[in-house]
Copies of this chain bind each other. A is one copy, B any other.
Amino acid sequence: MANENKKSVSLEEKFSRFDDHWSPKIIAECNGQLVKIAKGQGELVWHSHDNEDELFFVHKGQLTLKLRDRDIVLNPGELFVVPKGVEHCPQAEEGTEFLMFEPGSTAHTGKEQTEQTVAQDKQPWI
């Protein structure tokens, strides 16, 4: 593992380190699951993960998880788990910061490869 968790991790401090959108950074590891943070603005892409649930927790702004049958709107302090296999398209207001919890194996945009896709091995520990 690239980073040993010797110290506490501050979300505020970690979010201050980058400004790109839809580009997950890893901040912690727990039982093989990774805690990632990202900033969002506009829309990512419709995709799903066959084998992994994906937890989203909003820190700032507003993240909408568009599902095929409804929208899940998340404000700060709210979370939602997208179950494995469920198609979703994240959409965010300007200034949105959020946290994800997912296995190391989870592909960023599922099987979809777009200009926005960031491969797992390109997602850095910060």
What residues make up the interface of A, taking CB atoms closer than 8 Å to B?
Answer: 5, 7-12, 27-31, 33, 35, 52-55, 59, 72-74, 77-81, 83, 101-103
Is B8 within 8 A of A74, CB to CB?
yes
Please classify the interface of chain A as helix (H, G, I), strand (E, B), loop, or mixed, using the class held by over half of its residues.
strand
Nearest residue, chain B, Cβ from A59: B77
Chain B residue numbers with a CB within 8 Å of A79 are 8-9, 11, 27-28, 35
30 of the cross-chain contacts (CB-CB < 8 Å) are A5-B81, A7-B72, A7-B80, A8-B74, A8-B78, A8-B79, A8-B80, A9-B79, A9-B80, A10-B78, A11-B77, A11-B78, A11-B79, A27-B79, A28-B55, A28-B79, A28-B81, A30-B55, A30-B81, A30-B101, A30-B102, A31-B33, A31-B52, A31-B53, A31-B103, A33-B33, A33-B101, A35-B55, A35-B79, A101-B101
